[in-house]
Amino acid sequence: MAQPPDVESLQLLVHVADQGSLTAAAAEVGISQPSASKRLSRLERRLGLRLLDRTRRGSALTADGVLVTGWARRVLDDLAALTDGAAALRRARTAQLSVAASLTVAEYLLPAWIGELRRADPDLHVGLQVTNSSRVCELARHGEIDLGFIESPGRPSGLRSRAVAGDRLVLVAPPGHPWTRRRRPVDPAEVAGTPLISRETGSGTREAAVQAFAAHGLHLVPPLLELGSSTAVRNAVVAGAGPALISELVVTADLAAGTLTEIEIAGLTVERSLRAVWRTGADPTGPAAALLAQARRPAGKA
């Protein structure tokens, strides 16, 4: 079995994609440009792929490099999730309020909800696990958390739940993608037949997209890239790897700035409820009840 790539090389490759050059990526990680070039050359030999086009004007990712960078982001995201999850488990042992949330909720909504809670009770200790919707439901069913937040369509089985917010998945692509030049919306069948950049199986985003297209008698083909966080999906689209269906919460700033373009799908919208979930048999009490109440308040109201 071939030796897997080292984490430092994967991080360097991602920095090349984000910074736009090998020199800037080397500066970002604090090594010289020749050292960075040698490190990526070893990565290319290990994978048997050419990841960079090296010219006198600089270095740019090849088509293979763009794909490998997407996979590298997922590996790094998963490693970060492992580290963060272990830390969350340690915190949860002494937490007064144990919470788990899907990534989109955790990144874009939960910080404000918890912030309001802690303003009222500065001594409140919250233990938070960030994972996908399937895992949040599993934790709630086993009573390992006081309250969970998911982004899956419909009500999860075996749990109590309540809608706390709405969300919409949008089809986005980088400027210049062929879909951005069309005057008419893209046909749903064409979208379903195009490999997209996608979240992993078990995520609420992936489940919502699959169900929305299934309601129109369509099945999504296997994804071009399967990534472990909405931020990784967004970054891959910005890097030009391909289009994606992603939460509007994640790309609002990109759409406003023109970094990404929303593509209308003819006759199809993907909307979903973001839900709080908890174990059947008992209503949330204490800090969990306060968090649920805060989550259900309209945005902007404390």
Residue 152 pLDDT grade (very low, low, confident, very high; cuts 50, 70, 90): confident
In this structure, which topology does domain 80-165+273-296 adopt according to CATH?
D-Maltodextrin-Binding Protein; domain 2 (3.40.190)
pLDDT of residue 95: 56
Q: Report the C-alpha gap between 244 and 233 in whole angstroms.
A: 7
Q: Report the C-alpha gap between 273 and 25 in whole angstroms.
A: 39
| Class at the top of the CATH hierarchy for domain 7-74 | mainly alpha
Residue with tokens 């992936």: 206
pLDDT of residue 121: 86
Q: Which residues of 159-194 are buried (b: 16+ CB within 10 A; e: fewer)?
A: bbbeebbebebbbbbbeebebeeeeeebebeebbeb
Residue 124 sits at the vertex; the CA angle it makes with 119 and 127, to the nearest 5 degrees, is 120
Residue 238 pLDDT grade (very low, low, confident, very high; cuts 50, 70, 90): very high
pLDDT of residue 168: 92
pLDDT of residue 140: 94
pLDDT at 265 over 90: yes
Query: Poorest-confidence range of 36-40, 92-96, 210-214, 269-273?
Result: 92-96
pLDDT of residue 302: 46
Residue 212 pLDDT grade (very low, low, confident, very high; cuts 50, 70, 90): very high
Query: Poorest-confidence range of 64-68, 168-172, 259-263?
Result: 64-68
Q: Report the C-alpha gap between 115 and 109 in whole angstroms.
A: 10
pLDDT of residue 150: 94
Summarised one tens digit per residue, pLDDT across range 51-108 is 998 877 778 889 898 999 999 998 998 888 888 777 766 665 555 899 999 988 998 8
Start-end of CATH 3.40.190.10 domains in the chain: 80-165+273-296
191-203 average pLDDT score: 92
Residue 19 pLDDT grade (very low, low, confident, very high; cuts 50, 70, 90): confident
Residue 1 pLDDT grade (very low, low, confident, very high; cuts 50, 70, 90): very low
Start-end of CATH 3.40.190.290 domains in the chain: 166-272
Residue 298 pLDDT grade (very low, low, confident, very high; cuts 50, 70, 90): confident
Q: Note the CATH architecture for domain 166-272.
A: 3-Layer(aba) Sandwich (3.40)
163-192 average pLDDT score: 94
pLDDT of residue 86: 78
pLDDT at 124 over 50: yes
- Give the residue with greater pLDDT, 54 vs 235: 235
Instruction: Give the dihedral of Cα atoms 286, 291, 292, 297; nearest 10 deg.
Output: 130
Summarised one tens digit per residue, pLDDT across range 30-57 is 899 889 889 999 999 999 999 998 877 7
Cβ neighbors of 196 (< 8 A, separation 6 or more) are 220, 223, 224, 242, 243, 244, 245
Q: Output the average pLDDT for the chain.
A: 89
pLDDT of residue 92: 55
Start-end of CATH 1.10.10.10 domains in the chain: 7-74
